[in-house]
Amino acid sequence: MVVLIGGSSHVGKTIIAHRLIRKHGWECISLDYLKEAFSKTQTGDPGDRSDYQMRYWMWPFVAEIVKKAIKDGRDLMIEGCYIPGEWADSFTSKELEEIRCAFIVMSESYIRSHMYDIEKYSRQVENRPEDVLDVERLVNCSREFKEDCLKTDTFYIEIDGDYDTDSLLDAVESVIEDSDPDERGILI
CB hemisphere CA count around 5 (13 angstroms):
31
- DSSP code string of 77-91: EEESS---TTGGGGS
What are the pLDDT digits (tens) for 66-120? 999 999 999 999 999 999 999 999 999 999 999 999 999 999 999 999 887 787 7
- Alpha-carbon span 84 to 108, nearest angstrom: 21
CATH code, domain with 173 = 3.40.50.300
Least confident of 54-58, 62-66, 118-122, 157-161: 118-122
Q: What is the mean pLDDT of the chain?
A: 87
Instruction: Say if CB 81 and CB 51 are below 8 A apart.
Output: yes
Q: Quick one: which of 144, 99, 110 has its CA closest to 3?
A: 99
Instruction: Say if CB 179 and CB 97 are below 8 A apart.
Output: yes
Task: Work out how many domains the chain is built from and give that number.
Answer: 1
Q: Model-level pTM?
A: 0.88
Domain range for residue 64? Answer: 2-187
- What pLDDT sits at residue 179? 65
- What pLDDT sits at residue 117? 78
